Amino acid sequence: MARRKKHEDHENLERWLVSYADFMTLLFATFVVLYALSQVDVSDFAKLEEALKKAFQSNMFDGQESILDNSNSILDGTSGATSPIMLEYLSPKYENDSYEEIKKSIDEMDIDGIDAQIDERGLVIKLEDNALTFKSGSAQITSDSIVPLNSVAKLIKEKFAIHIIRVEGHTDSDPVSNAIFPSNWELSSARASSVVRYLIDNYGFNPGIFIAAGYADTVPVTRGNSQKDKKKNRRVEIVILKNKLRNTNSKNMETLTTLSTKKKSTVSQAIKDLTGNDEKLMKNVIDFRQTYEKETNRIDNLDNDSDINRMKQKPDFLE
């Protein structure tokens, strides 16, 4: 009697799907948490922030350091932000509350010529000629303007580290013509740039968040021709744009977020011990953003039915 031929064991080529499904589940959970953060009340988040700080700063094992160094925690609001960078980026409520707080502080200032308003663009801080003065036909900030400008800069620095800030220069209708500024267009642009440079040099703002614009005399506050009216029209406006408008100003928010948080990138001793000082492994522990982006792009490229078969290929990160 002929012996039956033994069937070869079937090789399971789709085991990677289990890991892939786990990865996608974790991503889903991540975005759920991020959405929840965008809806949270600032006061409630402060309590959560404190609890998370204590958790991350506690020892993983007896005698070892915390899993995150104090200097490297995004919860500490590095790069000058009092609140966490990602909360500033994600939460419309944080944005609106911060606008209101800055506006209230400016309203309470005993400085003539500074006004703050909230409109569809965001928070608009107006520095009139009696608060921010320049020499006639010049873009040089006078010494009398330092105190008002510093007061405004401190308020902005406490709340906004990655919001796009557009600084707009405005002149009166009197024509100007000299070797440096042929018209009010150049003069208004230069005055806006002077304010931007002052904020960067003296308060350490990230240069990538700024836009300097000159409007000459095309957007007057008043149409009158008296000296009082002209003085009102000579002004610089600092506009802290709402995050939803960032794309209209060609500013890459992902890049700004990275720049605002990468200055302090040390790894705690606990992570070094757990990874055996393996730099490649430490990088994988800390940052999976590149993997996520690569897989997202791969899935987005599945633009027809035939491409669905490519889903059976192993993702690069599981090779």
Burial category of 7 from C-beta neighbours within 10 Å (exposed 0-12, middle 13-18, buried 19 and up): exposed
Per-residue confidence of the chain (319 residues) as pLDDT tens digits?
556 655 566 666 677 778 888 888 888 888 887 777 666 555 555 665 666 555 555 444 444 444 344 444 444 444 444 445 555 555 788 889 999 999 999 999 888 899 999 999 999 999 999 899 998 889 999 999 999 999 999 999 988 877 899 999 999 999 998 889 999 999 999 999 999 999 999 999 999 999 999 999 999 999 888 888 899 999 999 999 988 877 666 666 555 555 554 544 455 555 566 566 666 555 555 454 455 566 666 666 655 545 545 544 544 544 5
Which strands sit side by side in the sheet containing 165-170, from one edge to the other?
Answer: 114-119, 122-128, 235-241, 165-170, 210-214
Nearest 5 degrees, angle CA 214-CA 111-CA 127? 5
How far CA 154 is from CA of 5, 10, 119, in Å, comes to 83, 68, 21
Helix axes 92-108, 16-39, angle to 10 degrees: 30
* 72 neighbors 37 (Cβ within 8 angstroms): no
Predicted TM-score of the model (pTM): 0.57
Token pair for 134 = 């320049």
Residue 60 is classified by DSSP as S
How many beta carbons lie within 10 A of that of residue 179, not counting itself? 5
* 236 neighbors 125 (Cβ within 8 angstroms): no
What is the CATH code of the structural domain delimited by 94-253?
3.30.1330.60
- How far apart (Å, rounded) are the C-alpha atoms in residues 45 and 51? 10
Token pair for 316 = 């690069």
- How far apart (Å, rounded) are the C-alpha atoms in residues 268 and 254? 25
